[in-house]
Structure 1
Amino acid sequence: MQGKKLISPQDHKRITAAIRRAEEGTSGEIYAVLARSSDDYFFAAGFIATCGILIAAVLVAFLAHWYWFDIRLPVFGLAILAAFVAAMLVLWFFPAIRIAIVPHRIRYKRAHLNAVQQFLARNVHKTVNRTGILLFVSLAEHYAEVIADAGINQHVKQEEWNTIVGTLTQHASRREVAEGFVVAIDQAGTLLARHFPAGSENLNELDDHLIEL
């Protein structure tokens, strides 16, 4: 996704330094991704809006019949069409409305899917000892996740990852995204160093910088 950067160049350097510092003490690899949004939600929001229009049309038809109010079928059909077109235009020109009407469950599923796609696309799963982790934040959904490769997950409890996720979400809610990544990376480095200390050959297998989507 193109456009203005979410994080300043100075903060990008801080995050890069934090990753390098964290990886000095571990054979694990840390990768960081920040997304504005994990979906544009136009079709999901459009489906919800369309269902709402159809339900409203049925209610109007029922009330018109109940109160003996005559609505000509062509007029009724055109009114439904006009409502549909208006709703699509609003959703097209005001993206914030889309995500506001999409249920949290759908948003979180889309954000989780994006995190998994980034984990695979960035080859975090291809480190030699399967010790890569992804720190992922999607701002529009207020969503954060840590995805760890198989070599790590069998040694680290979910509660420990949840602590890092909490760090990312709390800082993001205060518009301190860069600081959240720096703190979370330090926490991840400490956790990885405990389970996977650096060896004699501490290879750097993944890029040490934040990716913005």
Structure 2
Amino acid sequence: MALLTESEIQQVSQAIARIERETDAEIVTVLAAQADDYTYIPLLWAALIALLLPGIINYHAGWLGQRDLLLTQWGGFAVLAFLFRIPAITTRLIPRRVRHWRAANLARRQFLEQGLHHTVGDTGVLIFVSEAERYVEILVDRGIGSRVDDTAWQPIIAVFTTQVRRGQTLQGFLTCIDSVGSVLAHHVPVTHVRNELPDRLVVLS
């Protein structure tokens, strides 16, 4: 299932094109379904619970023989490993710090992969969202960072994060792009017409 429809992606593209007429900045937007599949974490939780819980029950109740204990552990591991792979459950098993660290790493990789570090005047701007982690970040190259303090982006990120949590990803992008555009138009106004990078929203499913 697409994170946004083609029509919604086009709305984001049009918003980028509109604000780039007012600034020398080159803006790229990236939407990821999830920053990582976290394959090993559900398995670790399943193994830990499957190993410990039957043993604890048997210690206090004493109703499991050695063979039954082993079967219970293997069966419990299989069931829990399956359940813990459900995205809604997986997300809750992973510490927030870990989820945000993975999302931040993906954002930085995308900054490089989308060519934002090769723009004229170092004016690349990445607006990055990872839905599963409810993570939003705005990354800028040196040409923007030297003129705009990082604190300028924090209120914009906070609003966008709230909208992502509410499932309002499209509106979050549109609001964020407009807000970022206002900041850029003031600090990095347009000096010449150019469009080095595609305006289309990059979707990582």
- Aligned mates of 1:42, 1:97 — CA distance in 2: 13
- Aligned mates of 1:16, 1:164 — CA distance in 2: 19
Contact 1:48 1:102 in 2 (8 A): no
Question: Greater CA deviation, 141-150 or 167-176?
Answer: 167-176
How far off its partner does 1:148 sit?
Answer: 1.2
Contact 2:25 2:124 in 1 (8 A): yes
Q: How many residues align?
A: 204
How far off its partner does 1:13 sit?
Answer: 2.2
- Residue by residue over 1:9-68, the C-alpha shift from the partner in whole angstroms, topping out at 9 and shown as x without a partner, is 33222211111111111111111011121122232122122223333245335435xxxx
Pairing 1:1-213 to 2, within 5 Å after superposition: 4-60=1-57, 62-63=59-60, 69=62, 71-92=64-85, 94-199=86-191, 201-213=192-204
Contact 1:137 1:144 in 2 (8 A): yes
- Aligned mates of 1:61, 1:153 — CA distance in 2: 60
- How large is the RMSD of aligned CA atoms in angstroms? 1.9
TM-score using structure 2 length: 0.89
Change (3 A) 1:70 1:182: closer
- Give identity over the alignment, percent: 33
Question: Greater CA deviation, 119-128 or 163-172?
Answer: 163-172
- Aligned mates of 2:81, 2:162 — CA distance in 1: 34
Runs of at least 5 residues in structure 1 that lack an aligned partner in the other structure: none
TM-score using structure 1 length: 0.86
Change (3 A) 1:21 1:70: closer
Contact 1:164 1:187 in 2 (8 A): yes
User: Any runs of at least 4 consecutive aligned residues in structure 1 with deviations exceeding 6 A, and if so which?
Assistant: none
- Aligned mates of 2:54, 2:101 — CA distance in 1: 30
